[in-house]
Protein backbone atom coordinates (compact mmCIF):
# COMPACT_ATOMS: atom_id res chain seq x y z
CA UNK A 1 0.00 0.00 0.00
CA UNK A 2 1.35 3.41 -0.99
CA UNK A 3 0.20 6.46 0.99
CA UNK A 4 1.13 10.06 0.32
CA UNK A 5 0.73 12.44 3.27
CA UNK A 6 0.99 16.19 2.87
CA UNK A 7 0.28 19.48 4.65
CA UNK A 8 -0.26 22.89 3.07
CA UNK A 9 -2.83 25.09 1.33
CA UNK A 10 -2.30 27.08 -1.87
CA UNK A 11 -4.45 29.99 -0.71
CA UNK A 12 -3.63 29.97 2.99
CA UNK A 13 -1.31 32.99 3.07
CA UNK A 14 -3.53 35.00 0.73
CA UNK A 15 -6.75 34.31 2.63
CA UNK A 16 -5.28 34.92 6.09
CA UNK A 17 -3.72 38.12 4.83
CA UNK A 18 -6.88 39.46 3.20
CA UNK A 19 -9.48 38.23 5.67
CA UNK A 20 -7.59 38.59 8.95
CA UNK A 21 -4.91 41.18 8.25
CA UNK A 22 -1.97 38.81 8.74
CA UNK A 23 1.25 40.23 7.32
CA UNK A 24 4.72 38.99 6.40
CA UNK A 25 5.65 35.53 7.59
CA UNK A 26 2.60 35.66 9.89
CA UNK A 27 0.37 34.89 6.90
CA UNK A 28 1.93 31.41 6.84
CA UNK A 29 1.71 30.72 10.56
CA UNK A 30 -1.99 30.17 11.23
CA UNK A 31 -3.04 26.90 9.53
CA UNK A 32 -0.95 24.75 7.20
CA UNK A 33 2.43 26.14 8.21
CA UNK A 34 5.50 23.91 7.90
CA UNK A 35 4.11 22.49 4.66
CA UNK A 36 5.61 19.10 3.89
CA UNK A 37 5.07 15.76 2.19
CA UNK A 38 5.81 12.18 3.25
CA UNK A 39 5.53 8.85 1.47
CA UNK A 40 4.78 5.56 3.23
CA UNK A 41 5.10 2.25 1.39
CA UNK A 42 3.71 -0.83 3.14
CA UNK A 43 3.66 1.04 6.43
CA UNK A 44 7.24 2.33 6.27
CA UNK A 45 8.03 6.02 5.75
CA UNK A 46 10.56 6.05 2.90
CA UNK A 47 10.72 9.77 2.10
CA UNK A 48 9.75 13.06 3.71
CA UNK A 49 10.76 16.66 3.10
CA UNK A 50 9.51 20.10 4.06
CA UNK A 51 8.45 22.36 1.22
CA UNK A 52 10.60 25.22 2.54
CA UNK A 53 13.77 23.24 1.91
CA UNK A 54 12.96 23.04 -1.79
CA UNK A 55 11.12 26.33 -2.38
CA UNK A 56 13.47 28.23 0.01
CA UNK A 57 10.47 30.11 1.50
CA UNK A 58 10.79 29.91 5.29
CA UNK A 59 7.76 28.50 7.18
CA UNK A 60 5.71 28.33 3.99
CA UNK A 61 2.11 27.13 4.22
CA UNK A 62 1.81 26.75 0.45
CA UNK A 63 0.68 23.53 -1.19
CA UNK A 64 3.87 21.39 -1.14
CA UNK A 65 4.12 20.73 -4.85
CA UNK A 66 7.90 20.44 -4.81
CA UNK A 67 7.92 18.18 -1.76
CA UNK A 68 5.30 15.85 -3.24
CA UNK A 69 7.18 15.61 -6.53
CA UNK A 70 10.46 14.84 -4.78
CA UNK A 71 8.96 12.15 -2.50
CA UNK A 72 7.38 10.36 -5.44
CA UNK A 73 10.45 10.66 -7.66
CA UNK A 74 12.83 9.47 -4.94
CA UNK A 75 10.79 6.28 -4.50
CA UNK A 76 10.15 5.74 -8.22
CA UNK A 77 6.40 6.13 -7.72
CA UNK A 78 3.89 7.95 -9.91
CA UNK A 79 0.80 9.67 -8.53
CA UNK A 80 -1.42 7.15 -10.28
CA UNK A 81 0.16 4.39 -8.20
CA UNK A 82 -0.68 6.06 -4.88
CA UNK A 83 -3.47 4.24 -3.06
CA UNK A 84 -4.41 7.01 -0.61
CA UNK A 85 -3.62 10.72 -0.26
CA UNK A 86 -3.75 11.66 3.43
CA UNK A 87 -4.26 15.24 4.63
CA UNK A 88 -3.78 16.18 8.31
CA UNK A 89 -6.83 18.41 8.79
CA UNK A 90 -10.49 17.39 8.90
CA UNK A 91 -12.81 20.37 8.89
CA UNK A 92 -15.93 18.25 8.57
CA UNK A 93 -19.47 19.67 8.34
CA UNK A 94 -19.77 18.98 12.08
CA UNK A 95 -16.67 21.09 12.74
CA UNK A 96 -18.09 23.82 10.49
CA UNK A 97 -21.33 23.81 12.49
CA UNK A 98 -19.29 24.22 15.68
CA UNK A 99 -17.38 27.14 14.15
CA UNK A 100 -20.69 28.83 13.30
CA UNK A 101 -22.09 28.17 16.77
CA UNK A 102 -19.04 29.70 18.44
CA UNK A 103 -19.46 32.90 16.48
CA UNK A 104 -23.18 33.22 17.08
CA UNK A 105 -22.73 32.60 20.80
CA UNK A 106 -19.87 35.09 21.14
CA UNK A 107 -20.27 38.29 23.13
CA UNK A 108 -19.98 40.74 20.25
CA UNK A 109 -22.26 43.12 18.31
CA UNK A 110 -24.50 41.62 15.64
CA UNK A 111 -22.60 43.38 12.84
CA UNK A 112 -19.34 41.91 14.10
CA UNK A 113 -20.91 38.45 14.15
CA UNK A 114 -22.01 38.80 10.53
CA UNK A 115 -18.51 39.92 9.59
CA UNK A 116 -16.95 36.97 11.41
CA UNK A 117 -19.39 34.57 9.73
CA UNK A 118 -18.58 36.04 6.32
CA UNK A 119 -14.84 35.63 6.79
CA UNK A 120 -15.13 32.16 8.29
CA UNK A 121 -17.48 31.10 5.50
CA UNK A 122 -15.07 32.22 2.82
CA UNK A 123 -12.16 30.52 4.58
CA UNK A 124 -14.12 27.28 4.91
CA UNK A 125 -15.48 27.26 1.38
CA UNK A 126 -12.25 28.26 -0.36
CA UNK A 127 -9.67 26.45 1.76
CA UNK A 128 -10.73 24.19 4.63
CA UNK A 129 -13.65 22.09 3.36
CA UNK A 130 -13.13 18.65 1.83
CA UNK A 131 -14.14 20.01 -1.55
CA UNK A 132 -11.58 22.82 -1.31
CA UNK A 133 -8.78 20.46 -0.22
CA UNK A 134 -9.58 18.06 -3.05
CA UNK A 135 -9.74 20.87 -5.63
CA UNK A 136 -6.44 22.29 -4.41
CA UNK A 137 -4.71 18.93 -4.82
CA UNK A 138 -6.07 18.38 -8.34
CA UNK A 139 -5.19 21.89 -9.53
CA UNK A 140 -1.64 21.87 -8.16
CA UNK A 141 -0.70 18.33 -9.19
CA UNK A 142 -2.66 18.11 -12.44
CA UNK A 143 -3.74 14.64 -11.34
CA UNK A 144 -7.43 13.70 -11.45
CA UNK A 145 -7.44 12.02 -8.05
CA UNK A 146 -10.29 9.64 -7.30
CA UNK A 147 -12.18 11.56 -4.57
CA UNK A 148 -12.47 8.33 -2.59
CA UNK A 149 -8.67 8.21 -2.33
CA UNK A 150 -8.51 11.44 -0.32
CA UNK A 151 -8.43 10.76 3.43
CA UNK A 152 -8.80 13.67 5.87
CA UNK A 153 -7.11 12.91 9.20
CA UNK A 154 -7.87 14.99 12.33
CA UNK A 155 -4.89 17.21 13.06
CA UNK A 156 -4.15 16.02 16.59
CA UNK A 157 -4.45 12.39 15.49
CA UNK A 158 -1.84 13.07 12.79
CA UNK A 159 0.47 14.55 15.45
CA UNK A 160 -0.02 11.51 17.65
CA UNK A 161 0.55 9.00 14.87
CA UNK A 162 3.81 10.66 13.86
CA UNK A 163 5.11 10.29 17.41
CA UNK A 164 3.76 6.78 17.82
CA UNK A 165 5.31 5.55 14.58
CA UNK A 166 8.71 7.06 15.34
CA UNK A 167 8.62 5.63 18.89
CA UNK A 168 8.08 2.12 17.51
CA UNK A 169 4.29 1.81 17.72
CA UNK A 170 4.24 0.45 21.27
CA UNK A 171 1.56 1.17 23.87
CA UNK A 172 1.85 4.59 25.50
CA UNK A 173 -0.06 7.36 27.18
CA UNK A 174 -0.07 10.52 25.09
CA UNK A 175 -0.38 14.27 25.32
CA UNK A 176 -0.74 16.43 22.21
CA UNK A 177 -0.60 20.19 22.66
CA UNK A 178 -0.23 22.89 20.03
CA UNK A 179 -1.66 26.21 18.91
CA UNK A 180 -4.81 24.78 17.45
CA UNK A 181 -6.26 21.84 15.61
CA UNK A 182 -9.76 21.94 14.14
CA UNK A 183 -11.49 23.05 17.40
CA UNK A 184 -9.16 21.89 20.20
CA UNK A 185 -5.65 22.83 21.28
CA UNK A 186 -4.76 19.85 23.47
CA UNK A 187 -5.83 16.24 23.93
CA UNK A 188 -4.65 13.34 26.09
CA UNK A 189 -5.30 9.64 26.24
CA UNK A 190 -3.86 6.20 25.59
CA UNK A 191 -2.65 4.20 22.62
CA UNK A 192 -3.10 0.47 23.27
CA UNK A 193 -2.72 -2.25 20.63
CA UNK A 194 -2.90 0.43 17.95
CA UNK A 195 -6.24 1.75 19.24
CA UNK A 196 -6.50 5.38 20.33
CA UNK A 197 -8.65 6.28 23.33
CA UNK A 198 -9.14 9.96 24.10
CA UNK A 199 -9.74 11.09 27.65
CA UNK A 200 -12.46 13.54 26.71
CA UNK A 201 -12.51 15.28 30.08
CA UNK A 202 -8.90 16.40 29.57
CA UNK A 203 -9.41 18.08 26.19
CA UNK A 204 -8.73 21.81 25.92
CA UNK A 205 -10.61 24.13 23.61
CA UNK A 206 -8.57 26.18 21.17
CA UNK A 207 -9.87 29.36 22.83
CA UNK A 208 -7.70 28.36 25.82
CA UNK A 209 -4.66 27.33 23.77
CA UNK A 210 -1.43 27.28 25.78
CA UNK A 211 0.51 27.47 22.52
CA UNK A 212 -1.38 30.59 21.41
CA UNK A 213 -0.89 32.18 24.86
CA UNK A 214 2.87 31.56 24.66
CA UNK A 215 2.80 32.94 21.13
CA UNK A 216 1.10 36.14 22.27
CA UNK A 217 3.80 36.67 24.88
CA UNK A 218 6.34 35.94 22.14
CA UNK A 219 4.87 38.79 20.09
CA UNK A 220 4.73 41.04 23.15
CA UNK A 221 8.50 40.54 23.54
CA UNK A 222 9.11 41.62 19.94
CA UNK A 223 9.41 38.20 18.30
CA UNK A 224 7.29 36.35 15.71
CA UNK A 225 4.57 34.17 17.29
CA UNK A 226 4.35 30.52 16.21
CA UNK A 227 7.94 30.84 15.05
CA UNK A 228 10.22 32.37 17.72
CA UNK A 229 8.97 30.72 20.91
CA UNK A 230 12.33 28.98 21.30
CA UNK A 231 13.90 32.43 21.73
CA UNK A 232 11.60 33.08 24.68
CA UNK A 233 12.55 29.68 26.12
CA UNK A 234 16.23 30.58 25.76
CA UNK A 235 15.76 34.01 27.35
CA UNK A 236 14.02 32.52 30.38
CA UNK A 237 17.25 30.84 31.51
CA UNK A 238 18.90 34.23 32.11
CA UNK A 239 16.80 34.88 35.22
CA UNK A 240 15.93 33.01 38.42
CA UNK A 241 12.70 30.99 38.66
CA UNK A 242 9.80 33.32 39.51
CA UNK A 243 8.62 33.41 43.12
CA UNK A 244 5.07 34.14 42.03
CA UNK A 245 3.49 34.25 38.59
CA UNK A 246 0.72 36.73 37.72
CA UNK A 247 -0.18 34.59 34.70
CA UNK A 248 -1.11 31.69 36.96
CA UNK A 249 -2.91 34.06 39.34
CA UNK A 250 -4.94 36.04 36.80
CA UNK A 251 -4.92 34.29 33.42
CA UNK A 252 -4.86 30.51 33.99
CA UNK A 253 -7.52 28.39 35.71
CA UNK A 254 -6.65 24.74 36.28
CA UNK A 255 -9.49 22.20 36.48
CA UNK A 256 -9.49 18.93 38.39
CA UNK A 257 -9.92 16.80 35.27
CA UNK A 258 -6.59 17.97 33.83
CA UNK A 259 -8.01 20.61 31.52
CA UNK A 260 -7.56 24.36 31.96
CA UNK A 261 -8.95 27.70 30.86
CA UNK A 262 -6.85 30.64 29.69
CA UNK A 263 -8.27 34.14 29.59
CA UNK A 264 -6.25 36.33 27.21
CA UNK A 265 -7.99 38.66 24.75
CA UNK A 266 -7.38 37.98 21.06
CA UNK A 267 -6.97 41.62 20.03
CA UNK A 268 -3.28 42.64 20.00
CA UNK A 269 -3.86 45.98 21.66
CA UNK A 270 -5.97 44.38 24.39
CA UNK A 271 -3.46 41.69 25.30
CA UNK A 272 -0.56 44.13 25.19
CA UNK A 273 -2.48 46.22 27.73
CA UNK A 274 -3.15 43.13 29.85
CA UNK A 275 0.51 42.08 29.80
CA UNK A 276 1.69 45.62 30.60
CA UNK A 277 -0.60 45.56 33.61
CA UNK A 278 0.47 42.07 34.75
CA UNK A 279 4.20 42.53 34.15
CA UNK A 280 4.59 46.23 34.90
CA UNK A 281 5.62 46.99 31.34
CA UNK A 282 5.32 49.69 28.70
CA UNK A 283 6.72 50.30 25.23
CA UNK A 284 10.13 51.31 26.61
CA UNK A 285 10.41 48.51 29.16
CA UNK A 286 9.63 45.92 26.50
CA UNK A 287 12.97 46.82 24.91
CA UNK A 288 14.97 46.22 28.11
CA UNK A 289 16.84 42.91 28.35
CA UNK A 290 16.13 42.35 32.04
CA UNK A 291 12.41 42.96 31.57
CA UNK A 292 12.27 40.58 28.63
CA UNK A 293 14.09 37.96 30.69
CA UNK A 294 11.54 38.36 33.50
CA UNK A 295 8.55 38.02 31.17
CA UNK A 296 10.13 35.07 29.34
CA UNK A 297 10.66 33.36 32.70
CA UNK A 298 7.00 33.85 33.62
CA UNK A 299 5.85 32.48 30.26
CA UNK A 300 8.12 29.45 30.59
CA UNK A 301 6.96 28.84 34.15
CA UNK A 302 3.34 28.99 32.97
CA UNK A 303 4.00 26.27 30.37
CA UNK A 304 5.75 24.07 32.90
CA UNK A 305 2.99 24.49 35.51
CA UNK A 306 0.16 23.81 33.06
CA UNK A 307 1.78 20.76 31.46
CA UNK A 308 2.61 19.36 34.92
CA UNK A 309 -1.07 19.77 35.78
CA UNK A 310 -2.01 17.84 32.64
CA UNK A 311 0.43 15.04 33.44
CA UNK A 312 -0.96 14.63 36.94
CA UNK A 313 -4.37 13.90 35.45
CA UNK A 314 -2.93 11.69 32.73
CA UNK A 315 -0.91 9.52 35.14
CA UNK A 316 -3.98 9.15 37.35
CA UNK A 317 -6.02 7.92 34.37
CA UNK A 318 -3.43 5.67 32.69
CA UNK A 319 -1.35 2.77 34.00
CA UNK A 320 1.10 2.91 31.09
CA UNK A 321 4.76 3.73 31.76
CA UNK A 322 5.68 5.60 28.58
CA UNK A 323 4.53 9.07 27.51
CA UNK A 324 4.33 10.33 23.94
CA UNK A 325 4.33 14.13 23.74
CA UNK A 326 3.66 15.75 20.36
CA UNK A 327 2.53 19.08 18.94
CA UNK A 328 4.20 22.47 18.88
CA UNK A 329 4.48 22.65 22.69
CA UNK A 330 6.62 19.51 22.56
CA UNK A 331 9.45 21.60 21.08
CA UNK A 332 9.81 23.25 24.48
CA UNK A 333 12.68 20.97 25.46
CA UNK A 334 13.20 22.67 28.84
CA UNK A 335 9.65 21.82 29.86
CA UNK A 336 9.97 18.31 28.40
CA UNK A 337 12.76 17.31 30.75
CA UNK A 338 10.93 18.64 33.80
CA UNK A 339 7.73 16.87 32.71
CA UNK A 340 9.51 13.53 32.60
CA UNK A 341 11.61 13.90 35.73
CA UNK A 342 8.72 15.13 37.87
CA UNK A 343 6.24 12.51 36.67
CA UNK A 344 5.83 8.81 37.37
CA UNK A 345 6.49 7.93 33.72
CA UNK A 346 9.65 5.90 33.25
CA UNK A 347 10.06 6.94 29.61
CA UNK A 348 9.05 9.83 27.38
CA UNK A 349 9.38 10.24 23.62
CA UNK A 350 9.24 13.45 21.58
CA UNK A 351 9.80 12.96 17.86
CA UNK A 352 11.83 14.97 15.36
CA UNK A 353 8.49 15.77 13.71
CA UNK A 354 6.72 16.91 16.87
CA UNK A 355 5.61 20.24 15.41
CA UNK A 356 3.64 20.62 12.18
CA UNK A 357 6.18 19.16 9.73
CA UNK A 358 5.38 15.83 11.35
CA UNK A 359 1.67 15.80 10.57
CA UNK A 360 2.43 14.84 6.96
CA UNK A 361 4.15 11.71 8.32
CA UNK A 362 1.39 11.14 10.88
CA UNK A 363 -1.42 11.38 8.34
CA UNK A 364 0.34 8.89 6.07
CA UNK A 365 1.10 6.45 8.89
CA UNK A 366 -2.43 6.60 10.30
CA UNK A 367 -3.98 5.95 6.90
CA UNK A 368 -1.53 3.13 6.15
CA UNK A 369 -2.24 1.54 9.52
CA UNK A 370 0.15 1.98 12.46
CA UNK A 371 2.07 -1.18 13.11
CA UNK A 372 4.71 -2.09 15.68
CA UNK A 373 8.20 -1.76 14.29
CA UNK A 374 10.68 -4.61 14.75
CA UNK A 375 12.90 -4.21 17.80
CA UNK A 376 15.99 -3.81 15.59
CA UNK A 377 14.41 -1.21 13.28
CA UNK A 378 16.36 2.03 12.83
CA UNK A 379 14.10 5.06 13.06
CA UNK A 380 15.71 7.84 11.09
CA UNK A 381 15.10 11.55 10.58
CA UNK A 382 17.25 11.43 7.44
CA UNK A 383 14.37 11.14 4.99
CA UNK A 384 15.07 14.01 2.60
CA UNK A 385 17.11 14.58 -0.58
CA UNK A 386 20.67 13.37 -1.07
CA UNK A 387 23.08 14.23 -3.86
CA UNK A 388 25.57 12.05 -5.70
CA UNK A 389 29.18 12.87 -6.54
CA UNK A 390 28.33 14.15 -10.01
CA UNK A 391 25.75 16.60 -8.65
CA UNK A 392 28.19 17.84 -6.00
CA UNK A 393 30.98 18.36 -8.55
CA UNK A 394 28.60 20.19 -10.88
CA UNK A 395 27.65 22.56 -8.03
CA UNK A 396 31.30 23.12 -7.10
CA UNK A 397 32.15 23.88 -10.71
CA UNK A 398 29.57 26.67 -10.75
CA UNK A 399 31.45 28.39 -7.91
CA UNK A 400 34.97 27.53 -9.08
CA UNK A 401 35.93 31.21 -9.25
CA UNK A 402 35.22 31.58 -5.52
CA UNK A 403 36.03 28.22 -3.91
CA UNK A 404 38.59 25.45 -4.15
CA UNK A 405 38.26 21.91 -2.94
CA UNK A 406 40.10 18.71 -2.18
CA UNK A 407 38.59 15.26 -2.63
CA UNK A 408 39.41 12.82 0.16
CA UNK A 409 39.64 9.08 -0.58
CA UNK A 410 37.15 7.76 1.99
CA UNK A 411 34.97 8.65 4.97
CA UNK A 412 37.64 7.89 7.57
CA UNK A 413 40.00 10.42 6.00
CA UNK A 414 37.15 12.96 5.81
CA UNK A 415 36.51 12.44 9.52
CA UNK A 416 40.19 12.85 10.42
CA UNK A 417 40.61 15.95 8.25
CA UNK A 418 37.44 17.55 9.63
CA UNK A 419 38.43 16.71 13.22
CA UNK A 420 41.78 18.39 12.58
CA UNK A 421 40.00 21.54 11.37
CA UNK A 422 37.57 21.53 14.30
CA UNK A 423 40.37 21.17 16.86
CA UNK A 424 40.92 24.92 16.52
CA UNK A 425 38.33 27.68 16.16
CA UNK A 426 37.42 26.66 12.63
CA UNK A 427 33.68 26.74 11.92
CA UNK A 428 32.70 23.94 9.55
CA UNK A 429 29.64 23.51 7.37
CA UNK A 430 28.89 19.77 7.41
CA UNK A 431 26.80 18.39 4.52
CA UNK A 432 26.34 14.62 4.35
CA UNK A 433 23.81 12.12 2.99
CA UNK A 434 20.06 12.68 3.11
CA UNK A 435 18.65 15.88 4.56
CA UNK A 436 17.06 15.56 7.98
CA UNK A 437 13.33 16.19 8.45
CA UNK A 438 11.90 18.65 10.96
CA UNK A 439 13.05 21.91 12.52
CA UNK A 440 16.36 20.68 14.00
CA UNK A 441 19.64 20.12 12.17
CA UNK A 442 20.60 16.63 13.28
CA UNK A 443 24.02 16.26 11.74
CA UNK A 444 23.54 16.02 7.98
CA UNK A 445 22.96 19.74 7.29
CA UNK A 446 24.81 21.23 10.26
CA UNK A 447 27.30 23.88 11.24
CA UNK A 448 29.86 22.35 13.61
CA UNK A 449 32.44 23.88 15.93
CA UNK A 450 34.60 23.12 18.94
CA UNK A 451 32.69 23.82 22.20
CA UNK A 452 35.92 24.10 24.19
CA UNK A 453 36.23 27.77 23.17
CA UNK A 454 34.19 30.09 25.46
CA UNK A 455 33.64 32.67 22.68
CA UNK A 456 32.56 30.23 19.98
CA UNK A 457 28.86 31.01 20.60
CA UNK A 458 29.46 34.70 19.94
CA UNK A 459 31.47 33.94 16.81
CA UNK A 460 28.69 31.80 15.32
CA UNK A 461 25.75 33.94 16.49
CA UNK A 462 27.16 37.20 15.19
CA UNK A 463 29.48 36.31 12.31
CA UNK A 464 27.79 33.19 10.91
CA UNK A 465 24.13 32.93 11.91
CA UNK A 466 23.44 36.68 12.15
CA UNK A 467 21.13 36.24 15.13
CA UNK A 468 20.64 37.35 18.74
CA UNK A 469 23.72 36.91 20.98
CA UNK A 470 21.74 35.24 23.80
CA UNK A 471 20.89 32.19 21.69
CA UNK A 472 22.48 28.90 22.87
CA UNK A 473 23.76 26.01 20.77
CA UNK A 474 23.32 22.28 21.14
CA UNK A 475 26.10 19.76 21.73
CA UNK A 476 26.13 16.55 19.72
CA UNK A 477 27.68 13.60 21.53
CA UNK A 478 28.05 9.86 21.10
CA UNK A 479 25.20 8.13 22.91
CA UNK A 480 27.70 5.98 24.81
CA UNK A 481 29.46 9.12 26.11
CA UNK A 482 26.40 11.20 26.96
CA UNK A 483 25.84 10.01 30.57
CA UNK A 484 29.46 10.81 31.40
CA UNK A 485 29.08 14.42 30.27
CA UNK A 486 25.42 15.22 31.04
CA UNK A 487 23.01 14.41 33.86
CA UNK A 488 20.55 12.45 31.74
CA UNK A 489 18.06 11.52 34.47
CA UNK A 490 15.56 8.99 33.19
CA UNK A 491 16.75 9.33 29.60
CA UNK A 492 19.42 7.16 28.03
CA UNK A 493 19.39 8.93 24.67
CA UNK A 494 18.17 12.16 23.11
CA UNK A 495 18.62 11.80 19.34
CA UNK A 496 16.41 14.70 18.26
CA UNK A 497 17.40 17.62 20.55
CA UNK A 498 14.04 17.47 22.33
CA UNK A 499 15.36 17.37 25.92
CA UNK A 500 17.65 19.61 27.98
CA UNK A 501 20.09 18.23 30.55
CA UNK A 502 22.47 19.75 33.10
CA UNK A 503 26.12 19.63 32.06
CA UNK A 504 28.10 17.81 34.73
CA UNK A 505 30.22 20.24 36.73
CA UNK A 506 33.50 18.65 35.71
CA UNK A 507 32.63 19.30 32.05
CA UNK A 508 31.19 22.81 32.26
CA UNK A 509 34.63 24.39 31.94
CA UNK A 510 35.67 21.92 29.24
CA UNK A 511 32.73 22.64 26.89
CA UNK A 512 31.67 26.23 27.73
CA UNK A 513 30.52 26.84 24.15
CA UNK A 514 27.83 24.17 24.55
CA UNK A 515 26.60 25.34 27.98
CA UNK A 516 23.66 27.70 28.27
CA UNK A 517 23.78 30.42 30.90
CA UNK A 518 22.10 28.12 33.43
CA UNK A 519 24.58 25.26 32.92
CA UNK A 520 22.27 23.14 30.78
CA UNK A 521 22.44 21.95 27.17
CA UNK A 522 19.94 20.76 24.56
CA UNK A 523 21.67 17.49 23.77
CA UNK A 524 21.68 15.41 20.61
CA UNK A 525 22.96 11.87 21.04
CA UNK A 526 24.28 9.91 18.07
CA UNK A 527 25.04 6.26 17.51
CA UNK A 528 26.70 4.34 14.71
CA UNK A 529 23.49 2.89 13.33
CA UNK A 530 21.62 6.16 12.94
CA UNK A 531 24.41 8.41 11.64
CA UNK A 532 27.70 6.57 10.99
CA UNK A 533 29.46 9.57 9.39
CA UNK A 534 28.76 11.87 12.35
CA UNK A 535 29.64 9.14 14.85
CA UNK A 536 32.97 8.60 13.08
CA UNK A 537 33.68 12.34 13.16
CA UNK A 538 32.91 12.51 16.89
CA UNK A 539 35.26 9.63 17.62
CA UNK A 540 38.05 11.25 15.59
CA UNK A 541 37.50 14.66 17.18
CA UNK A 542 37.46 13.30 20.74
CA UNK A 543 40.58 11.21 20.11
CA UNK A 544 42.38 14.31 18.87
CA UNK A 545 41.17 16.84 21.47
CA UNK A 546 39.79 14.90 24.48
CA UNK A 547 36.67 17.09 24.04
CA UNK A 548 33.68 14.70 24.16
CA UNK A 549 31.22 16.57 21.93
CA UNK A 550 30.82 19.06 19.11
CA UNK A 551 28.69 22.16 18.93
CA UNK A 552 25.90 21.60 16.37
CA UNK A 553 23.59 24.21 14.89
CA UNK A 554 21.50 24.31 11.73
CA UNK A 555 23.24 25.08 8.45
CA UNK A 556 21.49 28.35 7.63
CA UNK A 557 21.36 31.99 8.61
CA UNK A 558 18.53 33.67 10.52
CA UNK A 559 15.35 33.83 8.44
CA UNK A 560 16.46 31.21 5.91
CA UNK A 561 15.51 27.51 5.71
CA UNK A 562 18.16 24.93 6.49
CA UNK A 563 20.22 24.22 3.38
CA UNK A 564 19.14 21.25 1.31
CA UNK A 565 21.21 21.09 -1.89
CA UNK A 566 24.94 21.55 -2.52
CA UNK A 567 24.14 24.88 -4.16
CA UNK A 568 22.26 26.01 -1.02
CA UNK A 569 25.26 25.01 1.07
CA UNK A 570 27.72 26.88 -1.13
CA UNK A 571 25.57 30.02 -1.13
CA UNK A 572 25.35 29.99 2.68
CA UNK A 573 29.07 29.20 3.01
CA UNK A 574 30.05 32.14 0.82
CA UNK A 575 27.62 34.57 2.45
CA UNK A 576 28.88 33.93 5.99
CA UNK A 577 32.12 33.56 7.92
CA UNK A 578 31.94 29.76 7.93
CA UNK A 579 35.60 28.78 7.49
CA UNK A 580 35.31 25.46 5.71
CA UNK A 581 32.65 23.34 4.01
CA UNK A 582 32.68 19.55 3.96
CA UNK A 583 30.31 18.11 1.34
CA UNK A 584 30.43 14.34 1.22
CA UNK A 585 34.15 13.62 0.55
CA UNK A 586 34.97 17.15 -0.65
CA UNK A 587 36.66 19.65 1.69
CA UNK A 588 35.89 23.13 0.36
CA UNK A 589 37.61 26.41 1.23
CA UNK A 590 37.19 29.98 -0.01
CA UNK A 591 39.66 31.43 -2.47
CA UNK A 592 41.59 34.34 -1.03
CA UNK A 593 41.01 37.78 -2.52
Judged against a pLDDT cut of 90, whether residue 181 lies above it is answered with yes
Position 370 scores a pLDDT of 80
pLDDT digits (tens, 9 = 90+) for 434-465: 999 999 999 999 999 999 998 898 888 887 87
pLDDT range class, residue 29, cuts 50, 70, 90: low
CA-closest candidate to residue 566, choices 463, 415, 433, 381: 433
Q: How many helices (H) and strands (E) does the chain have?
A: 21, 23
The secondary structure of residue 465, as a DSSP letter, is: I
CA 442, CA 439: separation in Å to the nearest integer?
9
Pairing between strand 2-7 and 36-41? antiparallel
| Strands (DSSP E) found in 408-559 | 428-431, 445-449, 474-478, 500-502, 520-522, 524-526, 549-554
Higher pLDDT, 93 or 463: 93
Judged against a pLDDT cut of 90, whether residue 430 lies above it is answered with yes
pTM for the whole thing?
Answer: 0.95
Judged against a pLDDT cut of 80, whether residue 386 lies above it is answered with yes
CA 534, CA 493: separation in Å to the nearest integer?
16
Average pLDDT, the chain: 94
* Dihedral pair phi/psi, residue 146, rounded to 5°: -60, 120
With pLDDT > 90 as the criterion, what percentage of the chain qualifies? 85
Q: What average pLDDT score do residues 243-249 get?
A: 95
CA 278, CA 238: separation in Å to the nearest integer?
20
Helix (H) or strand (E) holding 367: helix 358-368
Could you give the angle at the alpha carbon of 57 between the alpha carbons of 233 and 131, nearest 5°?
100
Q: What average pLDDT score do residues 143-164 get?
A: 97
On whether the CB atoms of residues 430 and 418 are closer than 8 A, the answer is: yes
Q: Which domains does the chain have, with CATH numbers?
A: 2-161 (3.30.420.40), 169-350 (3.30.420.40), 389-590 (3.90.870.20)
Q: 324-328, 470-474, 563-567 — which is least confidently predicted?
A: 470-474
Judged against a pLDDT cut of 80, whether residue 577 lies above it is answered with yes
Q: Cβ–Cβ contacts within 10 Å for residue 109, how many? A: 9
Q: What average pLDDT score do residues 554-580 get?
A: 95
Judged against a pLDDT cut of 90, whether residue 473 lies above it is answered with no
Query: Length of the chain, please?
Result: 593
CA 67, CA 55: separation in Å to the nearest integer?
9
Judged against a pLDDT cut of 80, whether residue 126 lies above it is answered with yes
pLDDT digits (tens, 9 = 90+) for 46-92: 999 999 999 999 989 999 999 999 999 999 999 999 999 999 999 99
Position 550 scores a pLDDT of 97
- Cα atoms in the 13 Å half-sphere on the side-chain side of 4: 27
Position 458 scores a pLDDT of 85
Q: What average pLDDT score do residues 331-335 get?
A: 94
Q: What average pLDDT score do residues 359-384 get?
A: 87
Position 188 scores a pLDDT of 97
pLDDT range class, residue 593, cuts 50, 70, 90: low
Judged against a pLDDT cut of 70, whether residue 28 lies above it is answered with no
Q: What residues contact 324, with CB distance under 8 A and at least 6 apart?
A: 160, 163, 164, 167, 172, 173, 174, 175, 191, 348, 349, 350
CA-closest candidate to residue 334, choices 469, 218, 227, 494: 494
Judged against a pLDDT cut of 80, whether residue 486 lies above it is answered with yes
Q: Is 37 helix (H, G, I), strand (E, B) or coil?
A: strand
Amino acid sequence: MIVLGYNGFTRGAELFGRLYGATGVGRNLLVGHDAAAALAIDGEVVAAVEEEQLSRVKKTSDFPANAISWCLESAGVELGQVDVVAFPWRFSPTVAEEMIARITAADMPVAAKFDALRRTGELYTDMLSREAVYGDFVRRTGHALDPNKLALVPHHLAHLMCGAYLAGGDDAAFLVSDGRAETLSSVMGELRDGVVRLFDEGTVDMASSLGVAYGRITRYLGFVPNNDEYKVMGLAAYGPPPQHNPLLEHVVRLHENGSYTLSIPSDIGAYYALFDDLFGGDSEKREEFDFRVKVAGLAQHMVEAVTAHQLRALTAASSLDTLLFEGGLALNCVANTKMLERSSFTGMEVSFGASDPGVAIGAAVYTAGLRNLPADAVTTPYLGPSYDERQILDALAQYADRVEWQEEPDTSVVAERTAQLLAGKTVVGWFQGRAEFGPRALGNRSILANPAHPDIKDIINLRVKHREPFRPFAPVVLESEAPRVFEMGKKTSSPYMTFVFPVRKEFQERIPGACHVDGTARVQTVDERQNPALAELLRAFTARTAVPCLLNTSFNVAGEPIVCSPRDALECFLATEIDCLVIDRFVVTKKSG
